[in-house]
Chain A
C-alpha cells in the first residue's frame, strides 16, 4: 500500500538540471521515442542518453526498447510517497462513502420511498 521510493533527493537532483526538466516536460505530454526526445535538444545522442539514465535512476522516467525504437514515458508512481498516501486515502474514503450510499438504499424505510 504505502511504498517507499528512494528518498526524493534523487528526484530533486535529477530535476535540478534544465535539460532534464525539459525532457520530463516533454514526456508529460505523452511517451516519445528517444530520438524524438533528443531532436529539439542541442546535444549529442549520447549526452541525451546520459540524462535519460539519471531520470531513470531517480524513478521519474521509464524507457522500453521495442524492436529498434526505445520509447520513454514518465513514471507518475515515483513522485512522492506522500502523494500516494493522499491518493490512497481519498480512494478509500470514496469507496466507503459509496458503500454508505448502498447501505442507505438497502435500508430505505417504506415511508421514504
Chain B
C-alpha cells in the first residue's frame, strides 16, 4: 500500500481553550519568567529534569531533557524555539520532541504551537493550538501513509471508537 517514494508523515491539529481568573499580564508572565515557567510547566511530581533552559525572546530557544519515574524509563527531550512574542497577547513556538537513545536525539515529532491570550473581564481566555507532524522515533519509514480511501475509513472508525470509549 505504500511505495518507497511515498512521503510518510502524519499531521494533526488540536485546539484547547481555558479561562483563567488572572490578567493577561500574569498569564504572560507565567510563560516569560523562567522561574515561574519552570514551576508550572517543567517540574512535576515523579519527573526528573536532567537539564532545562529558557531564553524567552524571539529567536531564543528553550527546552531540555527529562524522564518520568526511575531510570528504566526513556529520557525525552523538547527543543523549543520562540518564533513570535507579543507581550500579554501571544506566544508562538515551534518545537521538536523525541527520545534520547544512546546519547543521540531520536526526533519523533515537530510542532507549531500558538498561545493566544485574550482579556475577558478580569480574567484571560487562553487559546492553545498545536499543529504537528509526526514521524516516529525510527524516522518516517515505520508509519505507513494512510492511503486516501482507506485512511478516511479508518478515521471514521476512529471517531466512532472514541465516541464509544
Contacts and interface: CB of A to CB of B under 8 A. Distances in A.
Contact of A82 (B1, B10, B22, B111): B10
A11 B109 CA distance: 23
Interface string B128-144: 10101010111000111
B126 A8 contact: no
B108 A80 contact: no
Interface in B149-165: 150, 153-154, 157-158, 160-162, 164-165
A81 B143 contact: yes
Contact of A90 (B10, B14, B150): B14
Given A8-B144, A28-B161, A89-B132, A101 B18 contact: yes
Given A9-B1, A85-B109, A103-B40, A97 B136 contact: no
Contact of B154 (A11, A28, A29, A100): A11
B1 to A, nearest CB: 5
Interface residues of A, number: 40
A83 to B, nearest CB: 6
A112 interface: yes
B16 A90 contact: yes
Nearest to A95: B44
Interface of B: 1-2, 10, 12, 14, 16, 18, 20-23, 26-27, 30, 36, 39-41, 44, 74, 76, 108-109, 111, 122, 126, 128, 130, 132, 134, 136-138, 142-144, 146-147, 150, 153-154, 157-158, 160-162, 164-165
Interface of A: 1-2, 4, 7-9, 11-12, 15-16, 21, 24, 28-30, 74, 76, 79-83, 85-86, 89-90, 93-94, 96-97, 99-105, 107-108, 112
Given A96-B40, A107-B36, 19 more contacts: A1-B74, A1-B76, A9-B144, A15-B153, A16-B150, A24-B157, A28-B157, A30-B164, A76-B162, A80-B10, A81-B136, A85-B134, A89-B14, A89-B111, A93-B16, A93-B130, A97-B16, A103-B36, A105-B21
